[in-house]
Amino acid sequence: MSETKEPLFSKKNKKLISDPLNLNNPVTIQVLGICSALAVTVQMDNAIVMSIAVLFVLVMGNLIVSLMRNLIPSKIKIIVQLVIVAALVIIVDQVLKAFVYDVSKSLSVFVGLIITNCIIMGRLEAFALGNKPWASILDGVGNGLGYGLILVVVAFFKELFGSGKLLGFEIFGNSVEQTGLYAIGYEDNGLMLLPPSSLILVALYIWIQKKRTPSLIDDH
């Protein structure tokens, strides 16, 4: 890092991480990567593993592309990016299958679909191709966390109200044995288990986010 004059966590670099969490969130503001946010949020553990997988692919992809940014021929830059992302995703998929088989079973096809997650290609193309490796890593971490934040928040509400559990622990009691809240007539909301409920939750999230941060509202 001898060539960088600025400190590792300068104000500018900190912004690379904090921006995607709120002001420039890839899911709620840029509306990228919505597809997987809708599909893998039924359970918290799935959402967390998915977030980690995307974070890994994003950081590594950003780093590799940034290191190679002066080597990549401009004619085939999209193909090169795609190959890098695809290779990383296959590695993640294989590792999940070998070490966390149950999670990989429930994530099924969605791990493979990280390849087409718009956030990843978007960050590679928009940021990593034109920035130094360290800044690219921070950008990857920021966007990965921003994506993961939405996934985990949505999954929290979906699992809590859809099956009365959090990370598999029964919060509202057991629905089969009719204990806890179920004893007084509470029932799980089946809609919460289906993809449409994520749309509602993401929309509510955007509403609250914009209410709290007026600068996000477009002036007409």
Partner 1 sequence: MSINKEGNAYTMTFAIIMVVVVGGLLAYIASTLKPIQQANVKNEKMQNILQAIGLEETNGVSREDAGKVFNDYITKRIILDYDGNIISELTNQDEIKGSAKKLKDEKDAFNLDVRKYYNTLTGLMKKYPEGGTEYEDALKSEGIAYPLFVAENEGETFYVTYFSGKGLWDDIWGYAAFRADGTTINGTVFDHKGETPGLGSKITEDLFQNQFIGKIITDENSGEYKPIKVEKPGGDYNKHQVAGLSGATFTAVGVDEMMNRSLAVYNKYFATLKSTSVLPMTDSVPAMDSIPMVVDSTLLATK
What residues make contact with partner 1 under the rule CB under 8 A?
42, 71-76, 79-80, 83-84, 87, 90-91, 94-95, 97-99, 101-102, 108, 162-163, 176, 190, 193-194
Q: From the CB of 47, what's the least distance to partner 1, in Å?
A: 13
Nearer to partner 1, 43 or 143 (CB): 43
Cα 135 to the chain's mean position, in Å? 19
Q: How far is residue 169's CA from residue 160's CA, in Å, rounded to a whole number? A: 10
Q: From the CB of 95, what's the least distance to partner 1, in Å?
A: 7
User: Which residues lie across from 165 on neighbouring strands?
Assistant: 170
Q: From the CB of 128, what's the least distance to partner 1, in Å?
A: 16
Nearer to partner 1, 120 or 138 (CB): 120
Q: How far is residue 124's CA from residue 178's CA, in Å, rounded to a whole number? A: 50
Cβ proximity of 157 and 76 under 8 Å = no
Nearer to partner 1, 98 or 217 (CB): 98
Q: From the CB of 64, what's the least distance to partner 1, in Å?
A: 11
Among 44, 26, 48, 45, CA closest to 35: 26
Nearer to partner 1, 31 or 194 (CB): 194
- Kindly write down the DSSP assignment for every residue of 83-132, as one continuous string: HHHHHHHHHHHHHHHHH-HHHHHHHTHHHHGGGG-HHHHHHHHHTGGGS-
The secondary structure of residue 218, as a DSSP letter, is P
Q: From the CB of 44, what's the least distance to partner 1, in Å?
A: 14
Nearer to partner 1, 14 or 97 (CB): 97
